[in-house]
Amino acid sequence: MKTHKGSCHCGSVTFEVEGDFAEALSCNCSHCKRKGFLLAFVPKSQFTLLSGEAKLTTYQFNKKQIDHRFCQICGVQPFGQSGETIAINLNCLEGLNTDDLILKKVDGKKF
């Protein structure tokens, strides 16, 4: 598996994630659609927060099962967490061409 570096827009929050990302989920729920996320899910063991824990804040909605983590400075949400699973916003990874990803549409409106 490849190690990818990622960050928020201002660079206050940085992380690494291990994965071979060829696919992304595109969800139409009220949250993901507004933010334009392209998501991939990895076990927490494949994710390392390198900097910015103090700059992160958490947003929860609906069933409050996911901690949507975003930078207090620039507002970008590079990842979220639910239990031992990390949802990576693939748009926040350096050098990953998201145009090459196979998109899988998820009907999040139903949840």
Place of tokens 């063991």: 45
Specify the number of domains making up the chain. Answer: 1
pLDDT score recorded for residue 40 = 98
User: Nearest 5°: phi and psi at 18?
Assistant: -95, 130
Here the CATH number for the domain that contains residue 72 is 2.170.150.70
Residue 110 in any domain: the answer is no
For the chain, what's the residue count? Answer: 111
Expressed as residue numbers, the domain containing 15 is 3-95
Residue 105 in any domain: the answer is no
Residue 64 in any domain: the answer is yes
Q: Give the residue ranges of the chain where pLDDT is below 50.
A: none
Residue 107 in any domain: the answer is no
Confidence (pTM): 0.92
pLDDT score recorded for residue 80 = 96
Which residues neighbour 54 within 8 Å (Cβ) at sequence distance 6 or greater? none
Q: What is the pLDDT of residues 77-102, one digit of tens each?
A: 999 999 999 999 999 999 999 999 99
Q: Phi-psi bin for 30: left (phi > 0), alpha (psi -120 to 50), beta?
A: alpha
pLDDT score recorded for residue 50 = 98
